[in-house]
């Protein structure tokens, strides 16, 4: 329960980061606190400029996540809140469904475990399919067995972010675009947010800085790790003539030997069909092309022992992913394992995203959401997929924690 005395002292709040989680937090603060003044700091000239605007648009159902963890809990709650919000705002939402397809007996065993986990997590409508049943859902797909999640959906997260921002503005909140928070200083009471133009004191600050989250955390006195190590993901688009080869989403079974999922097929809310993404180390936290190299960011991970521990542990994965980076044919071949009829299809370059992946000093990837509180500052230190799906639930959780004594 919120601490009444603490609630009464919070009059001015700041949120650092204008992605979907940051804007959702600002909206939640304004709905929970009477008369509060909320300011969002976003360093770009628009909202949803980075991870929110470069992801696949999938509303994840909660299949994979450890039961009882934040991802599992907040994903399911997030789906409910997201459905309610897009319904109220008449925003596009399509429950196109998802198949996770096993191609080998070993993958089928892993898929059985995922199915059991999804049932514990309360994912609605999930069922296991045999080889012949796969074609009933996806006529062009092949596999040994599959898990079908009929309520996995697709949306436009940038549009949702802007709709949330409209709520913030209507309630009197400020959104400062083009204002980078250069430092965050914890005081005895409250915290100071500095930009290159000014500094303002707030009773509560929530940092949802995504790709820059570890740097802001370190500025408040939090440990330097987990460290953000950026991995880019390249998507391709199927040519118009091949779009109808796939009706919804087709994913591989996660392999515990590889840190990332691998190439899959994803329908987009605008009707495009995406292949990807792969995952390979990025030359910058916000580098969306090979030409954009950020020396500071590269040094940040190359001088981090955890990165080299990760690299040593994942040589086969690096080789696999690098092949899809340098060879479009190899990339497409990965997708054809599930939909052989894509052979010869026209493929066009699509978007590229950069994943803000938190990494421990031993090289292990942080699996669950990490949300830390330091007096009057709340720090979102790790919120990869299903972060966008869970955004409204993450906002609820953050504000509940911030209002405790």
Q: DSSP secondary structure string, 240-306?
A: GGGGGG-SSEEEEPP-TTSSS---EEEE-TTS-EEEE---EE-SSTT--STT---HHHHHHHHT-HH
Q: Where are the domains of the chain?
A: 4-52+158-223+368-402, 95-153+227-359
Is the overall model pTM greater than 0.85, yes or no?
yes
Mean pLDDT, residues 230-248 taken together: 92
Among the four given CATH numbers 3.30.9.10, 1.20.1370.20, 3.40.50.620, 3.40.50.360, the one describing domain 95-153+227-359? 3.30.9.10
Mean pLDDT, residues 39-59 taken together: 96
Diameter of the chain by CA atoms? 66
Provide the pLDDT confidence category of residue 402 given band limits of 50, 70 and 90: very high
* 344 contact partners, CB below 8 Å, separation of at least 6: none
DSSP state of 226: S
Provide the pLDDT confidence category of residue 113 given band limits of 50, 70 and 90: very high
Provide the pLDDT confidence category of residue 2 given band limits of 50, 70 and 90: low
pLDDT tens for residues 287-323? 998 889 999 999 999 999 999 999 999 988 887 877 7
The residue assigned the tokens 């994942």 is: 314
HSE, CB side, 13 Å, CA atoms: give it for residue 355.
22
Q: Quick one: pLDDT at residue 5? A: 66
| SS3 assignment, position 348 | strand
pLDDT tens for residues 121-159? 999 999 999 999 999 999 999 999 999 999 999 999 999
CATH no. of 4-52+158-223+368-402: 3.50.50.60
């Amino acid at each position: 329960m919120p601490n009444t005395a603490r609630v009464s002292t919070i009059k001015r709040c700041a949120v650092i980061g204008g992605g979907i989680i940051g804007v959702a937090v600002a909206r939640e603060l304004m709905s929970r606190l009477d008369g509060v003044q909320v300011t969002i700091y976003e360093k770009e000239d628009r909202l949803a400029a980075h991870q929110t605007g470069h992801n696949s648009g999938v509303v994840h159902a909660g299949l994979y996540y450890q039961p009882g963890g934040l991802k599992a809990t907040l994903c399911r709650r997030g789906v409910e809140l997201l459905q309610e919000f897009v319904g109220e705002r008449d925003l596009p939402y399509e429950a196109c469904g998802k198949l996770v397809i096993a191609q080998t007996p070993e993958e089928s065993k892993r898929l059985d475990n995922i199915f059991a986990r999804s049932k514990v997590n309360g994912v609605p409508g999930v069922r296991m399919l045999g080889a012949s049943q796969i074609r009933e859902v996806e006529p062009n797909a092949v596999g040994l067995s599959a898990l079908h999640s009929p309520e996995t959906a697709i949306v436009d997260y940038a549009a949702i972010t802007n709709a949330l921002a409209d709520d913030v503005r209507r309630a009197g909140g400020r959104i400062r675009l083009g204002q980078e928070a250069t430092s965050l200083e914890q005081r005895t009471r409250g915290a100071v947010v500095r930009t290159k133009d000014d500094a303002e004191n707030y009773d509560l600050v929530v940092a949802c800085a995504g790709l820059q989250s570890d740097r802001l955390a370190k500025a408040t006195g939090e440990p330097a790790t987990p460290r953000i190590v950026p991995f880019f993901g390249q998507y391709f688009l199927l040519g118009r003539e091949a779009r109808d080869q796939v009706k919804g989403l087709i994913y591989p079974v996660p392999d515990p030997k590889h840190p990332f999922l691998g190439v899959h097929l994803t329908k987009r809310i605008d009707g495009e069909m995406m292949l990807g993404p792969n995952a390979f180390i990025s030359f910058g936290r916000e580098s969306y092309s090979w030409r954009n190299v950020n020396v500071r960011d590269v040094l940040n991970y190359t001088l981090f022992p955890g990165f080299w521990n990760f690299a040593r542990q994942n040589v086969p994965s690096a080789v696999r992913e690098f092949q899809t980076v340098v060879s479009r044919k190899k990339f497409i071949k990965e997708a054809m394992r599930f939909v052989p009829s894509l052979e010869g299809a026209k493929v066009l370059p699509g978007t590229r995203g950069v994943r803000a992946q938190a990494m421990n000093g031993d090289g292990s990837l942080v699996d669950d959401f990490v949300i830390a509180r330091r007096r009057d500052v709340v720090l979102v230190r790790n919120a990869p997929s299903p972060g966008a799906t869970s955004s409204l639930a993450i906002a609820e959780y953050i504000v509940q924690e911030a209002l405790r004594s």
